[in-house]
Structure 1
Amino acid sequence: MVARPDQFDAYKFEKAILIFFGFPVGHEWKGLQLVKGIISIIISISLIISMIGNIIEKVDNVPLILETLYFGLTQTTFLCKAYNLIVNKHKVSLLETYLRKPIFNQYTVDQYNFIKKAVRICNMFAKTFRFFVGITIAFYAIFPFIEHTLPLPGWFPFDKRKYSYILYIYHLVCLILNGYNHTSLDCINAAMISIASAQFEILKDNLHNLRRDEDNDLTIDQQDAVVRTRVKNCVLHHNVIIKFVALIEDMYSNVLLIQFLCSIIIMCVTGFQVFVIPPARMHYITLVLYFCCNLTQTAIYSWFGHDILAKSSDIGLACYMTEWNVLSPKARKLISIIMERSKIPIILTAGKFINLSLNTFMMIVRTSYSYLAVLQHMYKT
């Protein structure tokens, strides 16, 4: 048996980014961390205020309002997730406590591959997401510098041309702060879900292997005692996974609803601008990249949510596939407990009523396209 908390590798880099910018991830928020966190939040809130002022000032400029809208909504979702992390920092600590539990770290060498796969998939999604975000930030930094404009729309109570370089640096800091912290918050959530999926895989494998070759050297009574111990561990493991997933749901459900609603609007608005802006303009490239970032963000949550639904649904089948017919009545009763509980699907939701699944992802894309079609029709007429 191996007992290494390799689950932490699934979000180690993302946790380091958030800690660097002062956000609490499983630790106390005090001292230098508190100072850095307050500075990061003040910078983010100031950008929101600047964008609200810009909408009020340029209320007749529809293209500018649309541009400000998708930036503002992205910033709003980031602040909501940051607030959720700060308010529920004790829940993050509790999630990490689950990851340290012996029941989550006792697996065979073969089962270790499930953890490795979960970590690899998390890192792959995180790197892809960060790549899109990094390229987008780079384009938003380079093109405005060449065109002598500011990267983001905003209102300021002074002459922007006089302080253009200072404001350029301020916007660049906002882009980096928002982009990489927002990415990290999303990837940590996805990592927790992926770890839960891997634990379901381990549980399923344990159910498949209740009787093992080494048991043949034991007496019938000894075999029965060993199998019952293994089944009891499976029941305990199943309950701990369910509690772990319930904690993920409790912490992230509401902010995911905000994320999905904002994603519909953001993809609609950016998609509309992609259609109306000539491809020859530099701004066209940044819009396409921004659209890809939001699409990837929504896809990550939907994919991992669908994955845990599929993995948890296999537990009941795994119980049927055990050699239950040769087990003792007591062992069969314990297996029936797992079977009955597995009839209730493990579903993560956004706001308690939108399931995280690939079907939801397609629904979001279709809804965005529907609103986009309405905007196109209004634009043409």
Structure 2
Amino acid sequence: MVSKSYFKVQIFCFKMMGILMEDIDWNRFTSRAYAIYSFLLLSCFIYLFIITEAIDLILKWGDLDNMTFNLCYLVTHFAGLCKIAVIMHQKSKIRTFYQSLESGYFLPNHERGGNEEFRIISSAIWQSNMQTYVFYTFVTVIVANRGFYAGFDKGYFIQFTSVNGSETTNKHYKVMPYTTWIPFDTNVSPYYEIAFAYQIVSALIYGLLIGTCDSFIAGFMVHIKAQLLILKNSFGNYIYAAKVKTQVKNDFENLSFLKNCSDNGLKTNKDIKNLNPETLIYVQRYLRDCIIHHQQTIKLVEIVESEFNYLMLIQFLGSLLLLCLSLFQLSINDIRSTRFFSMICFAGLMLFQLLIFCWNGNEVLVESLEIAFAAYGSDWFLCDLATQKALVLVIQKAQRALQLSAGKFAYLTLETYMNILRASGSYYMVLRKVNE
């Protein structure tokens, strides 16, 4: 059985973190209570947290080590804030989009494609959920590592000299998990513990919310690919389905005839027996359904492209900068330190984050082109001339690849992924030269 809600995991996580994607008919008290909960959670742990990061960056401008470490998380959180803003602003459109995937021609149909369609959809749901769980694992490990690092670190001393220069004092500072501006002295209990807990909770909520946004958007690509796989199966089997529907067994003799004439070839179309009128009616009906399904899938790609292409541009530029900064941080930290391990996990998350967009975008491109081959590989020669002409138009349309882009500048492909990795390495070398 296929789940009734393809994005059940992501929608539940959104709800827990203050973003209600479902259209729920709550009473007035429940609606107001959730609105207050959402406002407080997003304001305190999302908006306020990124503001304190930005203030800290300004106050410590010039310290390359601190700046690069701060920017690793600030850029990530800024890109995440853009995703949150787009999803909240386009909530009704996105809701309509994912609900459309669970209805109409997009639903698995046993008559059209057999059990294969149910397997494809189940696989897409599993892949989408696994992407979410991998994100959550990365985020939990990174935040826990930052907390472990700060909690067990002995801190550091800064030497201060009196105004007349006669006395010097060393002041001890405790290490915080993240570099944020805090309007009180964190070296005194319980202020240190309060600030520590706030940073950990904020980073965890922020990270989980960004992971949900990313897996949600990537999940759309996964399900578009699933629809393309269903289409490929449908275009390859619509004549067979029509034969099964009408229970015409003698038409299968044509296939054995074709296998025996590979040496001599087919001299005329008269050598092939056409489908009987009853079967042809079902062929035309199934082909029409395939064409409508194909057109609606193209519209899905256009919707994802129009809603998220500029968001993908921000993601790509951010990933380029973040990979460069994380490489720099790895180069200046001791390989045995907890901070080094934390940055390794962070870099791994950035690579995975970029990979799921490029990989799934590339899969959409590849599978969209496969439809033309599937349509041509069907037993089209058994059909009448009108059906064959319709199939030619389908093949021509399918030869135009369905592509998702990052702001119309680059397509989401594995080639783009490799280009970003190469570019980040080049910028890292420039940053190393500046530091030297």
The match for 2:333 is 277
Is the CA contact (8 Å cut-off) linking 2:355 and 2:417 kept in structure 1?
A: yes
Distance 1:246 1:344 in 2: 13
3-state DSSP of counterpart to 2:101: helix
Aligned residue in 1 for 2:435: 379
Which amino acid in structure 2 is aligned with residue 118 of structure 1? A
* Residues 149-193 of structure 1: CA deviation (Å, up to 9, x unaligned): 211101122222231111111101111111111101111111111
How far 1:270 moved relative to its partner? 0.9
Partners of 1:125 and 1:176 in 2: how far apart? 17
2:108–2:118 Cα contact (<8 Å) kept: no
Can you give the 5+ residue segments of structure 1 that lack an aligned partner in the other structure?
Answer: none
2: CA distance between counterparts of 1:26 and 1:247?
Answer: 19
**Is the 8 Å Cα contact of residues 182 and 195 (structure 2) preserved in structure 1?**
no
Residue number in structure 2 paired with 1:51: 53
Letter in 2 for 1:158: F
Q: Aligned residue for 1:217?
A: 248
Cα distance in structure 1, aligned partners of 2:41 and 2:298: 35
Q: Which residue of 1 aligns with 2:218?
A: 190
* Cα separation, 2, equivalents of 1:26 and 1:331: 42
Task: Tell me by how many angstroms 1:99 deviates.
Answer: 1.4
Aligned residue pairs: how many? Answer: 376
Aligned to 1:8: 5
Name the SS for the 1:300 alignment partner: helix
Checking the alignment, whether the CA contact within 8 Å between 2:2 and 2:122 is kept in structure 1 is: no
Distance 1:78 1:197 in 2: 25
Displacement of 1:95: 0.9
Q: Which amino acid aligns with 2:5?
A: F
Describe the SS at the equivalent of 2:23. Answer: coil
Q: State the 1:89 CA deviation.
A: 0.3
Task: Verify the 8 A CA contact 2:4 2:102 in the aligned structure 1.
Answer: no
Structure 2 distance, partners of 1:261, 1:134, is 25
Deviations, residues 65-116 of structure 1 (Å, cap 9, x unaligned) = 1111111101101110000011000111111231132211142212211112
CA distance change for structure 1 residues 8 and 363 in 2, over 3 Å: closer, same or farther?
farther
Q: Is the 8 A contact 1:24 1:85 kept in 2?
A: no
Q: What are the Cα deviations for residues 124-170 of structure 1, in whole angstroms up to 9, with x where unaligned?
A: 33322222221111111222112242111011222222311111111
CA distance in 1, matches of 2:62, 2:279: 79
Matched, 1:144 2:150: yes
Match of 1:301 in 2: 357
- Mapped to 2, the partners of 1:69 and 1:196 lie a distance apart of 34
Change in Cα spacing, 1:358 to 1:33, as seen in structure 2 (3 Å) is farther
- The answer for the alignment partner of 2:101 in structure 1 is 99
Letter in 1 for 2:147: A
Partner Cα distance (1:365, 1:32) in 2: 45
- Look up the SS of the partner of 1:22 in the other structure: coil
Tell me, yes or no, if structure 1 residue 235 matches structure 2 residue 291. Answer: yes
The two structures have a TM-score, normalised by structure 2, of 0.82
* 2:312 and 2:406 in contact (8 A); partners too: yes
Within the alignment, does 1:23 sit opposite 2:79 as a pair? no
Cα deviation for residue 237 of structure 1 reads 0.3
Q: Please list, as runs of the form range in 1=range in 2, the aligned pairs for 1:142-181 lying within 5 A after superposition.
A: 142-147=148-153, 148-162=174-188, 163-181=191-209
Moved more, 103-112 or 302-311: 103-112
**Deviation for aligned residue 1:26:** 4.0
Matched-pair contact (CA < 8 Å) for 1:305–1:347: yes
Show the counterpart of 1:358. 414
Note closer, same or farther for the CA distance 1:7–1:343 as it changes in structure 2 (3 Å cut): farther
Q: CA deviation at 1:7?
A: 7.2
1:334 positional shift: 2.3
Partner of 1:39: 40
Please give the TM-score of this superposition, normalised by the length of structure 1.
Answer: 0.94
The AA in structure 2 aligned to 1:31 is R
Q: Which has the larger radius of gyration?
A: 2
For residues 16-60 of structure 1, the C-alpha deviation after alignment (integer angstroms, 9 at most, x for no partner) is 111111113243795334323322331312122212211221123
Q: Measure how far apart 1:272 and its partner are.
A: 0.8
**What is the aligned counterpart of 1:66 among 68, 71, 81?**
68
In 2, are the aligned partners of 1:126 and 1:187 still within 8 Å (CA)?
yes
Verify the 8 A CA contact 2:365 2:402 in the aligned structure 1.
yes
* Alignment CA distance shift 1:32-1:305 (3 Å): farther
More helix by share: 1
**8 A contact 2:64–2:435 mirrored in 1:** no
Over 4 Å off, 4+ runs: none
Q: Structure 1, residues 323-344: CA drift from partner, whole Å, max 9, x if none?
A: 1111112212322232122122
Output the CA distance in 2 between the equivalents of 1:152 and 1:20. 24
Q: 1:119 to 1:100 in 2, by over 3 A?
A: closer
Q: Which amino acid aligns with 2:248?
A: D
Name 2:259's counterpart in structure 1: none
Amino acid at match of 1:347: Q
- Match of 1:193, as an amino acid? M
Partner of 1:109: 115
What are structure 2's unaligned runs of at least 5 residues? 154-173, 250-274
**Cα distance in 1 for residues equivalent to 2:411 and 2:288:** 31
**How far is 1:233 from its partner?**
0.1
